[in-house]
Chain A
Amino acid sequence: MASLFSDNEQPPTNSNSSSTVLVRKKKSLSASSPSSSRGNAASLPTRDGDSHPRWRSEKQQRIYSAKLIQALKQVRLSSSSSATTSSPTAHKRGKAVREAADRALAVSARGRTLWSRAILANRIKLKFRKQKRPRQTVIPAVTTVVTTGASSRGRKRRVSVVRLNKKSLPTVNRKVRSLGRLVPGCKKESVPVILEEATDYIQALEMQVRAMNSLVELLSGYSTPGSDSAPPPI
């Protein structure tokens, strides 16, 4: 897709260490996209959460794709400079790619969410998560529980109140706990925090899947023998 290339005007980086990669990513983050996601969030104030337009906007996908490409270039440089053989490290390279993609995703979240900070904290092995802890716990305003079907996907279904019985509460708690174990960094959080982090995490993962899919399409178009100069029409 052309969107993968359109915003990538960042200068090539040549270092291999992960911490400088992150520093450069953060600098380029502030330079390249001043208020893109905020602009999208502000333009749709009537939505029930700014998470919906945030991860689905074209601009956010471009930003993430650019960061992903940067990160993958780093992975290539570091893996090609190592002297190990290919077969035992094939799985490790897949993991390195996954970690790079997760880091890029976490940086694109601009530090607003727990899971993104947890991903970055695990990577650098710093505990700056504790310093960011005194943010307010998220309790969204509930004016009415009945929602209309005007979601961002255009579905017309009307879903009404969820019945949370008292006797089903421990079941719900258990499931929320297991959900919290899936989302990075939310093992010990309270229920609404886990639920909110999960909504954001799901949307971010969907965007990651879309971006990586298009990147794979692009690269598999290049790696076929015989295609030399003309890029595939997208």
Chain B
Amino acid sequence: MSSRRSRSSRQTGTSMISEDQINDLVLQLHRLLPELGNNNRRSGKVSASKVLQETCTYIRNLNKEVDDLSERLSQLLESTDSAQAALIRSLLM
């Protein structure tokens, strides 16, 4: 836990948050996002609101993907009959 907290420069309380820190966080977020079509054009600045918008969309997509996968998983878990389930269980243990 200290490895992450040791990066903090100063603890100035919760209200004095500088623009630089927000910039840095937004940049970090931007690096995580899948870059579709940004590779060639945008080599300069990115706008914060666009990054945030894409982040929201991306999180929604990821959530939806997890939901779909869990639906499929539940169907798969139901459809395997008991013999195969015993096989899988014995392999998993």
Contact = CB atoms under 8 A, between A and B. Distances in A.
Contacts of B27: 145, 147, 159, 162
A171 B7 CA distance: 28
A129 interface: no
Contacts of A168: 47-49
B79 A138 contact: no
A49 B1 CA distance: 12
A41 interface: yes
Contact of B23 (A69, A101, A162): A162
Given A94-B70, A213-B69, A164 B23 contact: yes
Nearest to B84: A222
Contacts of B80: 219, 222-223
Given A5-B91, A90-B74, A179-B55, A139 B29 contact: no
B21 A160 contact: no
- State the main secondary structure of chain A at its contact with B: helix
A76 B88 CA distance: 12
A94 B74 contact: yes
A159 to B, nearest CB: 6
Contact of A72 (B25, B39, B59, B73): B73
Interface in B21-78: 21-33, 35, 38-39, 43-49, 51-53, 55-56, 58-60, 62-63, 65-67, 69-78
B75 A90 contact: yes
Contacts of A101: 66, 70
B58 A223 contact: no
Interface string A48-75: 1111000000000000000001001101
A-side interface size class = 35 or more
Given A195-B26, A219-B80, 4 more contacts: A136-B11, A138-B4, A159-B30, A206-B62
User: 3 nearest interchain CB pairs?
Assistant: A175-B52, A195-B25, A94-B71
Interface of B: 1, 3-5, 7-14, 17-33, 35, 38-39, 43-49, 51-53, 55-56, 58-60, 62-63, 65-67, 69-80, 84-85, 87-89, 91-93
17 contacts: A5-B91, A5-B92, A8-B93, A38-B3, A76-B85, A96-B74, A101-B66, A140-B21, A159-B27, A162-B30, A179-B59, A191-B22, A198-B29, A208-B66, A209-B62, A216-B69, A219-B73
Interface of A: 5, 8, 12, 38, 41-42, 45, 48-51, 69, 72-73, 75-76, 86, 90-91, 93-98, 101, 112, 136-142, 145, 147, 151, 153, 155, 157-164, 168, 171-172, 175-176, 178-179, 182-183, 190-192, 195-196, 198-199, 201-203, 205-206, 208-209, 212-213, 215-216, 219-220, 222-223, 229, 231
